[in-house]
Amino acid sequence: MAPLWIDTHCHLDAAEFAADRLQVREQARAAGVGRLVLPAVGVSSFTAVQALAHQGGDAYALGLHPLFVAEQPEDAIDRLDQALADAATDPRLVAVGEIGLDGFVPGLDRALQQRCCAAQLVQARRAGLPVILHVRRSADALLQLLRRHPVAGGIAHAFNGSLQQAQAFVDLGFRLGFGGAMTFERALQIRRLAAELPEQALVLETDAPDIPPQWLYRTAAQRAAGAVSRNAPAELPRIGATLAALRGWTLEQTAAITSANAVAALPRLAALEADRA
């Protein structure tokens, strides 16, 4: 039987999929991607990710992305609180996310990010949910927040920190997300982490439509000339093949290990996977 994969981070609600969203989901299913986790990025996406998860047999998370917190309505935290309460019995709600801190994009209000992330960690703890973290040049600051506001683990998405930082997240109950960036031979640190971390720490993701793998990458000049570099969840098995090569695993082992890790990170997935079996 072909392996079944879980894409732990896919923005299927993104505008890049507006023309063929259902087709993209079916292509992923045909490729063996049995489950997507669809994280929200703001209040305006709560309804969309919830509806898509129910339509496609997938899972979702609700949260306020650090890149967009300044654009949210003033009552965004209250609205997230209400949305989490309204969906408390929905088995497809598996986490609070995508939340976190971004230290890469210039000009962002770091204090606002910190306040918003801290508030959402408190909400996640109150809801008994894990979190899906955006960690970009912010690992140490996020670790500090997590120690002040402990939660039930989750996933550090698109992880690109040091081995020491990776271990600190693992020690706090987190799994680390690896995706398209791992497929680039020059991504030495990411590939080292993927190869050397304990197998229980690893989950797979696409972050579609973002972070295209090496075979989809286009330069800025190529994109300006009209070339498309949209990532899609159907790419996950090929991304998984990169992890398999780095670890010396078969594809079947890679799918089984990373899917089990995803369920461990997001426990509500267990019931969904049991229903599929």
Instruction: Fill in the amino acid letter for 209.
Output: P
* SS3 at position 172: coil
φ, ψ dihedrals at 104, nearest 5°? -100, -45
Alpha-carbon gap, residue 243 to 241, rounded angstroms: 5
Please say whether the beta carbons of 6 and 35 come within 8 A: yes
Residue 65 annotated as lining a ligand binding site: no
Tokens of 259: 């899917």
Q: Is 149 annotated as a binding residue?
A: no
9 is in an annotated binding site: yes
The annotation status of 98 as a binding-site residue, yes or no, is yes
The vertex-96 CA angle with 61 and 205, nearest 5°, equals: 55
CA distance 140 to 148: 13
Q: Are 44 and 83 a contacting pair, CB within 8 Å?
A: no
Binding positions for a divalent metal cation: 9, 11, 98, 134, 157, 207
Binding positions: 9, 11, 98, 134, 157, 207
